[in-house]
Amino acid sequence: MQRRHFLPAAAAASLGSLAAPLVFGQGTTVRLVVGFPPGGGADALGRLIAAKLTTLWKRQVIVENRAGASGTLAANEVAKAPADGSALLLTTINSHALAPAVQPRMRYHAERDFTPVALLGVTPNLLVTAASNPAKSLKDVVALAKAQPGTVPFGSAGPGTIQHFAIEKFKLLGQLDVLHVPYKGSAPLITDLVGGQIQFAFETMTAATPHVNSGRLVALAQTRGKRSPAYPAVPTMQEQGFAGFETMNWYGISGPAKLPAALVQQINQDVNAVLGMADVQRQLEVFGVEDGGGTAEDFAKFQSAEIAKWAKVAKEAKVTIDG
């Protein structure tokens, strides 16, 4: 994968920056603001990165959860923060590509109001269900949806999230009608999925994997065009008859607009150093987070392409934030 080729060199190159004086704003703490509640995939990844940066920077990097509105509350908070590195955003596809596609009156502009710093990686969604659910394959899910149109509940982490977009793609490509049930993040969604209050979800691999590994959830399909190394035995949606079905989450680090270039470069190099650590790579592989790293400019170009891509998908699939 790209991450494996790039990061060891980037990690070595960044070690020199670690000896330089930090140029953050005043104070001893850096906030990494996460737009979803504790226990979900974004939170788990944020805490992994924050712990490593705390060690590198010799100052506390804390995860601050600001859940709600599909990650846009957290993004709005960081957009208004001082541009001194004291507040960073765990940027996601939800706050910076999907929400702009379906919420034209957001309080921030996804590109103008932020400084892209580093791409942490991309991850597929998994179509998951409780182990107790009699549906054991995508074929079973389709048959159930056809037999009970408009009533089979699919959960999402909120309106306009990647889970919601995946549901809409499923409906569009399969010519199906299912019931969208939005939650305020992955953690409460998974609780109800395991408990049987909802039947299915296109959950992020990062959030779903611990529960698949524990046996509480079963993965029926994955959503990138290729199988993730983390789930080599789980077929893709495309392999199971859904041609053109591809959704994936992504995570990055961003700061407020006008973050100083020297600080952007420093944080980028140090994040790449973290991503290159062997124990972090092992954890990312468990989460299914792939192809991270690169320059801040790489992340900016990636994000711009994602904004254009999902605006087009939202229009074609007629995705709305009211479900």
Query: 267-292: per-residue pLDDT in tens?
Result: 999 999 999 999 999 999 888 899 99
Is residue 145 included in any domain, yes or no? yes
Domain final residue, candidates 184, 206, 240: 240
Domain final residue, candidates 189, 224, 240: 240
In this structure, the answer to whether residues 100 and 203 fall within a common structural domain is: no
In this structure, the answer to whether residues 211 and 299 fall within a common structural domain is: no
Helix axes 261-275, 296-317, angle to 10 degrees: 80
pLDDT above 60 for 141: yes
In this structure, the answer to whether residues 136 and 118 fall within a common structural domain is: no
The torsion angles phi and psi of 70, rounded to 5 degrees, stand at 55, 35
pLDDT score, position 13? 41
Q: DSSP for 44-63, please give it.
A: HHHHHHHHHHHHHHTSEEEE
Q: Which residue has the higher pLDDT, 5 or 226?
A: 226
For 75-131, write each residue's pLDDT tens digit: 999 999 999 999 999 999 999 999 999 987 889 999 999 999 999 999 999 999 999
Is residue 323 included in any domain, yes or no? no
The torsion angles phi and psi of 154, rounded to 5 degrees, stand at -115, 125
Token digits of residue 316:
């074609």
Residue 200 structural domain: 124-240
> Count of domains in the chain?
2
**Which SS3 state, helix, strand or coil, does residue 267 take?**
helix
In this structure, the answer to whether residues 106 and 148 fall within a common structural domain is: no
